[in-house]
């Protein structure tokens, strides 16, 4: 047990004695030169003591010593308080007491109706689950969720019914019906396109500050209903509390960020020489079709929809079939924010029907899509065909998933590495396009890391997300459940199932976290996107080989490296083939405005959601040049 904290050491001693372990059956470890009086006391009491010193390169060693000094000289340190401040022993040995946390002041924000005073972009703070009041408030929101919702299509500012419908169920308890939504077909799409053509010209001429103000008011509407919007995701998307809350926060962030980015673009300036005025402006391309996924059922569609809107486009929004009720919250937010009728149509329906029709329609000029590689490539292909009456080249914004790797160097800090891998691979049951699905280990660290990784994975709580402690929830639907189970069954043929949790609820689409080793780099497990809690482990003899394995994929979305070597971190940052590279942390959880998100290769077309250039995908730039050296002028008009 390595510690200079007397309470921690005492706890280890008492626990060992209660377990019947003799005092000489383990050892206590302390740093050379740190708290020698504690060393002497441990020896005097007869415990085994190992005094150690770090050995290796100077800079990492200095960092280690500084870390230890900070730990042992903190204001709450036993060592500091006893030997520096002279605190009484009885006070130091008293049980620690957690004082009530101070209440947080709400962040100050400018009025949503005044874009000119929008100020700097601020991230929406996620819930602080350590606060009892936050936990109880969200628990109450989960309890009051109304199910059996009726979700209509929305065209020209009015709800629209359809002949057929789509039923969304709770993936954690398939007997529970969450919503019945409209199922739009060509007739509804045609009606929405006709309305959008009429509404778009006026919206495109609306001043940018006024369009941005709609986004700011939508953010305010979501902020006031954050718990209820997140609680619905618990049932319709199967999201644990933390994931659901973060999804709504990201949706709010997109509104706040893109509103400010539009104001920045609206002030576009170019140089003008004497005698000439040059003006750069951006105009919406026309009608944008947004085809959204289910895994971030509010955040991702919000980002695509509000980016298109604030850039001056009319939008036809087709949500995922699995999560229409959550997606309808975005429509409610924008309607409440004052978006003019006809500028946004909400068209729930089957992707192969209404989605494909929107992609091919000659009046649709932009397609924003997030989903699978197969569907994304089909959209790119269909959009490239020029159709009769089409007066533009369609622009496709596509994010299509990944086969993301984390590389673990021989000197990685396993205390940091293990939770980063677990959260990256199994958070939201691995149903994130950024999730880690390949773990590449340098041989010398592999055995110890795998041993600890299994222990950490075994401790994950699998269950229905309505319970606060759930960390791994269900897969989204029966198709996903069947597909992921097929890969788990394939694991016995392509490798060794190192760990599989089969103690999962039987009432939903659950698959327990699975770790597979001894896998070939060209196997299906190592090359195909699984989109579930299945982690494939590969070994490399050197760090360079590990990087080569990480890059041996058609995808290029996210990647990570865990290392304490500055040289290897620099090498990985330069060489890893991914749109987002993360160092010594999880590879999921990109924040709007901080980590613009998106990949290349077969992961996407290279655009970055939540970044400063994203809005440019939705506009046509125009430059007007005027000669100001006139020969007189015409009076009158």
Active site residues: 399, 433
Count Cβ atoms below 10 Å from residue 411 Cβ, excluding itself. Answer: 16
Token pair, residue 274, equals 């004497």
Distance, in Å, from the CA atom of 385 to the CA atom of 377, rounded to the nearest integer, reads 13
- Residue 360, CA atoms < 13 Å, CB-side half-sphere: 10
Got the DSSP string for 379-427? HHHHHTS--TT--S--EEEEE----EEEEE-TT--HHHHHHHHHHHHHG
DSSP state of 100: P
User: Helices marked H in 323-390 — which ranges?
Assistant: 324-336, 356-360, 373-383
The dihedral of CA 228, 231, 237, 240: what is its sign? positive
Whole-Å CA distances, 305 to 61, 116, 207, 222, 616: 50, 22, 18, 15, 14
Nearest to 462 by CA among 490, 500, 424, 415: 500
Tokens of 548: 């080569």
Cα gap 258→550, rounded to integer Å: 33
Q: Could you report how far apart the first and last alpha carbons of the chain are, in Å?
A: 88
Residue 436 Cα distances to 26, 197, 488, angstroms: 36, 42, 16
Centre a 10 Å sphere on the Cβ of residue 71 and count the other Cβ atoms it contains: 15
Cα–Cα dist 297/233, whole Å: 8
The residues near 286 (Cβ < 8 Å, ≥ 6 apart) are: 200, 313, 314, 363, 364, 365, 366, 392
Report CA 239 to chain centroid distance, whole Å. 12
Q: Show Cβ contacts of residue 167 under 8 Å, excluding neighbours closer than 6 positions.
A: 177, 179, 180, 181
Judge contact between 203 and 334, C-beta under 8 A: no
Q: Using DSSP, state whether 610 is helix, strand or coil.
A: coil
d(CA 168, CA 463): 19
In 39-93, at which residue ranges do the beta strands (DSSP E only) sit? 48-52
Alpha carbon distance 534, 451 (integer Å): 17
Range 180-199 burial, b when 16+ CB lie within 10 A, else e: bbbbbbeebbebbbebbeeb
**Nearest residue to 513 via CA among 430, 595, 617, 406:** 430
Give strand pairing partners of 284: 619
584: left (phi over 0), alpha (psi -120 to 50) or beta: left
How many other C-beta atoms lie within 10 A of the C-beta of residue 271? 6
What value, to the nearest 5°, has the Cα angle with vertex 268 and ends 263 and 273? 155
Q: If we measure between CA atoms, which residue out of 427, 466, 481, 438 comes closest to residue 576?
A: 438
- The answer to whether 540 touches 549, Cβ cutoff 8 Å, is yes
């Amino acid at each position: 047990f390595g510690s200079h904290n007397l309470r921690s050491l005492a706890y280890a001693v008492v626990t060992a004695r209660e377990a019947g372990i003799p005092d000489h059956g383990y050892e206590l470890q302390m740093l050379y030169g740190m708290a020698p009086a504690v060393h002497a006391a441990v020896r005097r009491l007869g415990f085994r003591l190992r005094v150690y010193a770090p050995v290796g390169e100077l800079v990492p060693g200095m960092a280690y010593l500084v870390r230890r000094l900070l730990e042992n000289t903190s204001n709450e340190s036993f060592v500091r308080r006893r030997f520096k401040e002279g605190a009484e022993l009885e006070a130091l040995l008293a049980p620690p007491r957690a004082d009530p946390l101070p209440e947080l002041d709400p962040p100050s924000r400018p009025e949503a109706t005044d874009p000119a005073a929008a100020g700097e972009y601020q991230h929406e703070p996620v819930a602080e689950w350590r606060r009892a009041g936050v936990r109880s408030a969200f628990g109450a929101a989960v309890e009051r969720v109304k199910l059996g919702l009726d979700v209509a299509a929305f065209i020209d500012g009015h709800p629209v019914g359809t002949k057929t419908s789509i039923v969304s169920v709770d993936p954690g308890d398939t007997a529970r019906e969450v919503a019945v939504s409209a199922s739009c077909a060509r007739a509804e799409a045609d009606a929405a396109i006709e309305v959008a053509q009429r509404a778009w010209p006026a919206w495109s001429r609306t001043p940018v500050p006024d369009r941005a103000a709609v986004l700011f008011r939508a953010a305010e509407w979501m902020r006031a209903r954050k718990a209820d919007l997140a609680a619905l995701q618990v049932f319709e998307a199967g999201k644990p509390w933390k994931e659901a809350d973060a999804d709504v926060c990201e949706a709010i962030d997109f509104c706040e960020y893109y509103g400010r980015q539009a104001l920045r673009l609206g002030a576009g300036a170019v140089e003008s020489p004497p005698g000439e005025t040059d003006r750069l402006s951006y105009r919406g391309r026309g009608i944008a079709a947004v085809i959204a996924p289910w895994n971030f059922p509010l955040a991702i569609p919000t980002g695509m929809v509000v980016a298109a809107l604030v850039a001056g486009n009319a939008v036809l929004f087709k949500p995922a079939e699995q999560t229409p009720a959550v997606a309808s919250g975005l429509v409610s937010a924008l309607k409440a924010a004052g978006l003019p009728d006809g500028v946004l149509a909400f068209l729930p329906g089957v992707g192969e029907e209404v989605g494909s029709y929107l992609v091919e329609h000659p009046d649709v000029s932009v397609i924003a899509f997030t989903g699978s590689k197969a569907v994304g490539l089909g959209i790119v292909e269909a959009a490239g065909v020029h159709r009769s009456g089409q007066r533009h080249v369609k622009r496709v914004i596509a994010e299509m998933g990944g086969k993301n790797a984390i590389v673990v160097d021989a000197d990685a800090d396993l205390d940091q590495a293990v939770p980063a891998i677990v959260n990256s691979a199994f958070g939201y049951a691995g149903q994130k396009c950024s999730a880690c699905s390949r773990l590449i280990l340098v041989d010398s660290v592999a055995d110890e890391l795998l041993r600890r990784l299994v222990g950490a994975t075994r401790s994950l709580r699998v269950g229905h997300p309505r319970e606060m402690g759930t960390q791994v929830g269900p897969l989204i639907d029966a198709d996903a459940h069947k597909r992921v189970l097929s890969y788990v069954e394939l694991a016995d043929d392509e490798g060794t199932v190192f760990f599989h949790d089969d103690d999962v609820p039987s009432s939903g689409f659950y698959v327990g976290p699975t770790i597979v080793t001894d896998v070939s780099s060209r196997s299906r497990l190592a090359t195909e996107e699984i989109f579930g809690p299945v982690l494939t482990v590969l070994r490399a003899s050197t760090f360079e080989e590990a990087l080569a394995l990480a890059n041996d994929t058609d995808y290029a979305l996210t990647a990570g490296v865990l290392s304490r070597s500055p040289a290897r971190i620099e090498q990985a940052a330069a060489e890893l083939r991914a749109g987002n590279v993360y160092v010594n942390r999880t590879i999921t959880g990109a924040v709007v405005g901080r980590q613009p998100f998106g990949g290349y290769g077969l992961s996407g077309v290279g655009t970055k959601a939540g970044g400063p250039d994203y809005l440019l995908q939705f506009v046509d730039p125009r430059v007007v040049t005027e000669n100001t050296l006139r020969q007189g002028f015409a009076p009158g008009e």
